[in-house]
Amino acid sequence: MSPTLILIRHAQALHNVERDYSIPDPALSELGIKQCQTLQENLKNLPLANEVKLIVVSPMRRTLQTATLCLGWLIERGVPVMPDAGWQESSDSPCDTGSNLSTLSAEFNTLDFSAVDSVYPNKTTPESNPYLFTKIAVLARGQACLRALYNRPEKVIAVVSHSAFLRCAVSGTRYANADYRIFDFEEIGRETDGQPAKFSLKEWAETEARGGGMGRSERGRAQIKEQDFPRVREEIVHEMPE
């Protein structure tokens, strides 16, 4: 049986404060650190969170900080932490581009980054790069992330990721800083003719009704908008008159 997922957005980071997207791989703000403490207190009182057997985290500074701060009690119990480049944020802005793994290994020396894709943190080249900031690549990455977790043996997995990636490519819902939502898998298509199965998630009624586990997030489904992705050359060419 596929696992239940607790999807967590990182706490407030420095680029969120002033909407300064030029800050490279920003750390959490002072408020963000406080948000992690509040989030940890909430999750400790959530029976499902105490059943988490794996923590998957985007290898970006703000998500790594959030994971170690708000899920620290699970890590102390021995729950493994798996940094995974697939869960990084969508865009290729400086704030959404990670640091070198050697830098992260020094900063978070209790975590093992050896399994992180060696392409990380490159998000611009080559054309086959799965982390490109295009609609096709981001949506494909979301499916790859879900597919990788679908057959995991753990019954409950916590994932610490980012707002745009979660909204556009994973769950179709919005997340405030340091909020979470709970989902079960809902497979929408078996593998056919060599095409991989496609997956969707069904949110638990509790977090759906409250607007996230912390009650901070916008309720309802979120639609992908044109401005969520850069317009690719092919789309522009197709719109030109013949």
- pLDDT, tens digit (0-9, with 9 covering 90-100), for 222-234: 988 888 999 764 4
Summarize pLDDT for 134-167 with one digit per residue, the tens: 999 999 999 999 999 999 999 999 999 999 999 9
- CATH class, domain 4-239, is alpha beta
* Dihedrals phi, psi of 56, to nearest 5 degrees: -105, 135
What confidence category does residue 191 fall into, taking pLDDT thresholds of 50, 70 and 90? low
Q: Are 168 and 133 in contact (CB under 8 A)?
A: no
Give the three-state DSSP class for 41.
Answer: helix
Q: Is the pTM of this model over 0.85?
A: yes
Catalytic residues: 10, 89
Summarize pLDDT for 44-103 with one digit per residue, the tens: 999 999 999 999 999 999 999 999 999 999 999 999 999 999 999 999 999 999 999 999
